[in-house]
Amino acid sequence: MKKKRLFIWIGTTVVLVAAVIMGLVVYSLHSFARTPIVTKLQMDDIETAVKGVAGELMFGEVNPTSVQTLEGKGLDALFAAQKQPPQGEGLIAAYQRNPEKFRHYAQLFDAAATSSY
């Protein structure tokens, strides 16, 4: 009889603890979903910056960069060069410095993406 009560007590405790943990998980997911990570205005700026880069690649004057390697030859040298961190200011800083350039190229990208033959 004592074993049966012990198993019932342990089972009930496990079920209650699992229910509390699941409730906390659901509550945290629900509250996290209500707080946006970025605002609508920030999302528009991010979209413009990304489209601007794509438009500049399509229509701008982009000079290819040469890869200088000191290790190996062929593909080994290329893979070794890719492990080095990129040199540049970053997309956000470039967009904040000159947003009109990104807007111009974003409009060109939108025109090319939505045009039909």
Kindly report, residue by residue over 105-115, the tens digit of the pLDDT.
999 989 988 88
**DSSP secondary structure string for all residues of 6-47:** HHHHHHHHHHHHHHHHHHHHHHHHHHHHHS-SS-HHHHHHHH
Band the pLDDT of 15: cuts 50, 70, 90: confident
Output the CA–CA distances (angstroms, integers) from residue 10 to 14, 22, 75, in the order listed.
6, 18, 61
pLDDT at 103 over 90: yes
48-59 pLDDT, tens digit each: 999 998 888 888
Spans of all domains in the chain? 1-35, 38-117
pLDDT band at 39; cut points 50, 70, 90: confident
Give the C-alpha separation, 95 to 109, whole Å: 16
Question: 40-59 and 99-114 are packed helices; what angle lies between their axes, rounded to 10 degrees?
Answer: 70
Average pLDDT for residues 79-91, to the nearest whole number? 66
